[in-house]
Amino acid sequence: MNNVVISGRIEDVIEPFFTDKKLCIGRFTLIVQRPKNDRKITPGSSPEDRYDFVRCIAFGKQASVLTSFKNAGKKITVQGRIRTGYYFNKEGKKINTTEVIVNNFEYDGGEDFHDFGSYEEVI
């Protein structure tokens, strides 16, 4: 089973992107704090030592809702599945990718849970 639930803060404003068929896509990065036993907190340590930056992508209604708000820094819980892939950069080097395909999300702080169906149902 491929299922993940993560909670963190949205890194930046989510800008909508539309396909030729008018499908809304929203890509964003979720900043997730690592467990205390997995953080390297020392003088001069960078945020990358204390947080994971998880790439997420939402489609259809989820993307429309997420991109309609100025939500940078907002705390959110995302439920979805992990998708991996790769591409070759300009130098011909293979770059591996990992992202979460958003099925559901919830703004932390009491807002209702948004369930708009899965990625497969939207397309």
Note down pLDDT in tens along the chain; length 123 residues: 999 999 999 988 888 999 999 999 999 999 998 877 655 666 666 655 678 899 999 999 989 988 887 778 889 999 999 999 999 999 999 999 999 999 999 888 644 444 444 444 444
Per-residue pLDDT, 97:
94
Q: Which two tokens stand for residue 21?
A: 């068929």
> Which amino acid does the sequence have at 37?
N
Per-residue pLDDT, 117:
45
Per-residue pLDDT, 38:
56
Backbone angle region of 44, left / alpha / beta, with phi > 0 → left and psi within -120 to 50 → alpha: left
> Which amino acid does the sequence have at 123?
I
Q: Are strands 51-59 and 94-107 parallel, antiparallel or unpaired?
A: parallel
Q: What is the DSSP letter of 1?
A: -
Per-residue pLDDT, 123:
40
- What's the CA gap between 63 and 53, in Å, rounded? 19
CB 117, CB 104: distance < 8 Å: no
Q: For residue 48, what are the contacts with CB-CB under 8 A and spacing of at least 6?
A: none
Per-residue pLDDT, 112:
44
